[in-house]
Amino acid sequence: MSTQKKGPTSALPRFEEAEPLGPHDWAFVQDLVAVLEKHGNLERFGLCLLHDHFPLAVDEILVETTDTEARTLHAHVEKASQTRHKKASQWRFLPGVQHSLRGEFAGDPYEVVLVCDPYSGCPPRK
């Protein structure tokens, strides 16, 4: 049995195949800005280009760490049930699905794409 994510959502495109934001997205961006502003989230959320570099198993999560001295970001895969990193920083909406495909987010209409490692300086400690 394959451990790759399966379900009603489509597979994400590889980065080199993913279409970036462009001039044809003007109306979409204006609508999104209006919704974010309406709910007081304009300074809280933005956009990211959803894409895949490699498949993740349903029990895995991508973790972002930072090296504040070198000013670099790193991403690696961990088992979702064993990671100490809990602060999500990127989400994928699940259209037409009333729950996440991942057990730890069951009941949510989104799944977490990336969590941040607060122990590595993400976000930086003051």
pLDDT tens string 36-84 = 999 999 999 998 888 888 888 888 889 988 888 888 988 999 998 888 8
Listed in order, strand segments (DSSP E) in 59-124 are: 60-67, 72-79, 87-93, 110-116
pLDDT at 6: 39
Q: Is residue 20 part of a domain?
A: no
Q: Is residue 32 part of a domain?
A: no
Q: Is residue 111 part of a domain?
A: yes
How far apart are alpha carbons 102 and 3 in whole angstroms?
12
Q: Is residue 3 part of a domain?
A: no
Q: Is 122 exposed, middle or buried (0-12, 13-18, 19+ CB in 10 A)?
A: buried
Range of the domain at 113: 53-126
Q: Is residue 16 part of a domain?
A: no
Total tally of structural domains belonging to the chain: 1
For residue 73, the SS3 value is strand
Q: Is residue 47 part of a domain?
A: no
pLDDT at 102: 52
Q: Is residue 14 part of a domain?
A: no
Q: Is residue 34 part of a domain?
A: no
